[in-house]
Chain A
Amino acid sequence: MTREPMTLSLSKDTVLVEKEQDVVFLKNRVKEVAVKIKMGLVNQTRLLTAASELVRNMMRYANGGKCHVEVVSSGRINGVRLTFIDRGPGIPDIAAAMRDGFSTGKSLGLGLPGTKRLVNEFDIKSKVGEGTTVTILKWANG
């Protein structure tokens, strides 16, 4: 019997991201969900910026993928969990990708480490040749 603060999924839907319009749709969906759980404006901005970074990675390196948008609850507070799943080339060295200033593309290399700083929970799994899954969680007041 676990009575630890566990996270409970309250609702879940999936958005396919294949073209640029889908990105806009995804952002609107995330915003909608964040507003619904009364997330503060600054946290909304953090979450949306994080989502923006991750969805760009997905478009650029994996030609798209899908994103689960979930409302989760730890009992006391609610949050939004986003899971980005792609079937792209995968990341060979996650530790390096998580360092500030590291980039294989021509970017600032802030995407992943910066995203991690914006959210409460961040998890990345990747297998070369199979794809990458990034999960982020932002609490309404965290």
Chain B
Amino acid sequence: MKNQLADEGLREDLISNDELRSQSEELVNSLVGNLSSENFSNIDSEEWSPVIEILGGIAITRARQGFSPRETGNFIFSLKEALLDVLQQELAGNLQALFTESLKINRIMDNLSVITFETFIKGREEVILRQTDEIAEISTPVIRIWNGILALPIIGTLDSARTQIVMENLLQEIVETGSSIAILDISGVPAVDSLVAQHLIKTVSATRLMGAECIISGIRPEIAQTVVHLGIDLSNIITKASLASALAHAFKVMRLEVRKVATVQK
């Protein structure tokens, strides 16, 4: 019975291309190669691990290629149906044996499909995680707006992972540029709760430890309202309504002045 399983790859070929064929072949070969009657019903046994590995590989590739869960599931289920077909032909005369063997195959294939789905979802999660990292990376630029003044516009929700990146980038940039003032603009942050406020305070405190001053700007009226309603104490932090006023404050601290140039007469 087991030898004949090698042919099952054919069924899959009908659905798609060479790649699929090689995937199926690999899977079926490994399934056949590692199967024995002792470990057949015990999915935790060691002989199963290469099969599970191949299956995992297939599931992850499919998740990355953007297959739907249904398509991935069908891939496994088609194998199961093929197996059952073979079984039916082989054991046509013996109903009792057919029933017991089908039950075994069912159990094992169910296990395999659960594994496939777990890996498929894990693959998807990896994609999501990588994208999250990328978004976090690109959305935290540190801008040098003046000699000695850095600005960091934050757009989007500020969670603890994001705060880490923001804080690390900002502090690193402070060291590299020798800037003594940093402006954290939160105009693009949709909401400030006590957790976000805590993250902001942490960033400001760390900046101070390094010997630079951190101003928080872009505080919208709604945010001012929630901050006070939640009883968050921001009194130790210099806050400004807009980036412009933060910059004005920074100029004052650095004893700089912006003046309109008197019109030059020609």
Q: Do chains A and B touch in the complex (CB under 8 A)?
A: yes
Name 7 interchain pairs, CB-CB below 8 A, sorted by A.
A1-B43, A1-B44, A3-B115, A3-B118, A42-B164, A42-B168, A76-B126
A110-137 vs B, CB cutoff 8 Å, 1 = contact: the mask equals 0000000000000000000000000000
Interface size, chain B (Cβ < 8 Å): 7
Interface size, chain A (Cβ < 8 Å): 4
Give the distance to chain B from A120, nearest Cβ to Cβ, in Å.
12
Q: How far is the CA of A3 from the CA of B164 in the complex (A)?
A: 30
Q: Which residues of B contact A3 (CB under 8 A)?
A: 115, 118
Q: Which residues of B contact A76 (CB under 8 A)?
A: 126
Give the distance to chain A from B79, nearest Cβ to Cβ, in Å.
20
Q: How far is the CA of A4 from the CA of B227 in the complex (A)?
A: 39
Smallest Cβ-Cβ distance to B43: which chain A residue: A1
Q: How far is the CA of A108 from the CA of B118 in the complex (A)?
A: 47
Q: Which residues of B contact A1 (CB under 8 A)?
A: 43-44
Question: Which of B43, B126, B164 counts the most chain A CB atoms within 10 A?
Answer: B164
Q: Which residues of A contact B164 (CB under 8 A)?
A: 42
Q: How far is the CA of A3 from the CA of B126 in the complex (A)?
A: 16
Give the distance to chain A from B205, nearest Cβ to Cβ, in Å.
13
Smallest Cβ-Cβ distance to A141: which chain B residue: B133
Smallest Cβ-Cβ distance to B44: which chain A residue: A1
Q: Which residues of B contact A42 (CB under 8 A)?
A: 164, 168
Give the distance to chain A from B57, nearest Cβ to Cβ, in Å.
14
Q: How far is the CA of A76 from the CA of B127 in the complex (A)?
A: 12
Smallest Cβ-Cβ distance to B164: which chain A residue: A42
